[in-house]
Amino acid sequence: MGNEPQEPRVPFSKRSLGQNFLTDRNYIEKIVSAVDPRAGDHILEIGPGRGALTEGLVASGAKVTAIELDDHLADALEERFLHDSNFEMLRGDILETDLQQISRAENGKLKLAANLPYNISTPILRKLFKQRHLLSEVTVMLQKEVAERLAAAPGDSKRGFLTVLIARGFGIRRLFEVPPNAFRPVPRVDSAVVRLVPILSDPDFPDGKFEMLVSAAFRQKRKTLKNNLDVSDGWVGEQVSLFGGAAELLGGSGIEALARAEALETAEWTRLLTNLIDRHK
C-alpha cells in the first residue's frame, strides 16, 4: 500500500484572491457550451483556477491562452495540459496584461471566457471596455447582483456607472444563473453567466472622456444629474463651466434638468458627451 501512486495535490482556494472553484459538472458544461469553442478560435481564459472550463475549451481544438495570478494553480495547469499544444499558460494579473500583445500573436480577435473573481470584476470589465476592439465575444460568470446591474434598463435604480459604460461598448445578454452549491468553497451569493458582444463604433470615440463624464454623473446616485455635474471637477467640471452650468448643458442636449443619471439612454449619453467636447472647440 505504501507504494501506491499518489494523487496530485489539489491547490487550496485563497480567500485573498476571491477564489471559488466551479465544481458542478452540469454548469461547467453549460458554460463551455455558451462559449462555443471551435478549432480556429483563440480563447483567452481569465482565472482558470483548477481548470474546470479549461478542459472543455482545450478539448475543442481552439487555441487557449489562460492567465492565472496564483502560481500554485498555474503550476498544476501547466502539468495537466503539458501535452496539449493548443494550450498556453500565462502568469500574471489580467489588469496588468496588454490584450493587444496576446491578440497580435495570433493575428486575430480574442474570444474571452472567465469566472471573474467577485472582488475585482468591476476593474476587469472596465479594462475590457477599453480594449473591446480586440474581442469578438465575452462570456463571463459574475456575481448575480453585478449581472443585474449590467442588464438594468434606463430608469431602473440598479443602473449605474458600470451599466452605462458597458452598454456603450457591448450588447448584453444574461444567459443563466449558477447557484452557490455549484462552487467549492460555497460562496454566499448567487452567480450569473453573461454574454457581451462588442459594439463596433467610431474608433476615434473618446472612451476616456466618456468614462469621466459617466463617473461624474453618478458621483452621488441620489442626486440629480444637474447637481452632480455642477460639482464635478477635472475635465468634466471645466467643460460644464464653459456652458455656464449643468442646466445649460442639459437643456442644450435635450435632457430634463431634474433627470437622474440612471434615466438616460445610451444615445443621450453620447449627445451629452458630444456637446461637452464641441463646446471646447
Cβ atoms of residues 208 and 150 within 8 Å: no
What pLDDT is stored for residue 85 in this prediction?
Answer: 97
Clarify whether 68 is annotated catalytic.
yes
Q: Which of 20, 45, 49, 115 is catalytic?
A: 115
Q: Which of 183, 210, 218, 243 is catalytic?
A: 183
Q: In which residue ranges of the chain is pLDDT below 50?
A: 1-17
Predicted TM-score (pTM) of this structure: 0.88
Cβ atoms of residues 72 and 48 within 8 Å: no
Give me the sign of the Cα torsion angle 88, 90, 95, 99. Answer: negative
For residues 61 and 56, what is the distance between their CA atoms, to the nearest angstrom? 9
| Nearest CA-CA partner of 32 in 190, 193, 183 | 193
Cβ atoms of residues 139 and 35 within 8 Å: yes
What pLDDT is stored for residue 16 in this prediction?
Answer: 40
What pLDDT is stored for residue 4 in this prediction?
Answer: 38
| Nearest CA-CA partner of 18 in 187, 146, 138, 149 | 187
Clarify whether 3 is annotated catalytic.
no
What pLDDT is stored for residue 281 in this prediction?
Answer: 52
Domains of the chain by start residue, with CATH: 15-198 (3.40.50.150), 207-279 (1.10.8.100)
Clarify whether 118 is annotated catalytic.
yes
- List for the chain the helix, strand, coil content (%; round to 5): 45, 20, 35
Q: Look up cell 500565462; give the residue.
A: 90
Q: Which of 68, 81, 161, 262 is catalytic?
A: 68
Side chain identity at 135, as an amino acid letter?
Answer: L
What pLDDT is stored for residue 6 in this prediction?
Answer: 37
What pLDDT is stored for residue 24 in this prediction?
Answer: 97
| Nearest CA-CA partner of 66 in 92, 40, 28 | 92
What pLDDT is stored for residue 146 in this prediction?
Answer: 95
Q: Which of 47, 51, 56, 169 is catalytic?
A: 47
For the chain, list the strands marked E by DSSP: 21-22, 42-46, 63-68, 87-91, 110-115, 135-143, 170-178, 183-184, 191-198
What pLDDT is stored for residue 41 in this prediction?
Answer: 95
Side chain identity at 268, as an amino acid letter?
Answer: E
Q: Which of 87, 118, 161, 170 is catalytic?
A: 118
Clarify whether 27 is annotated catalytic.
no
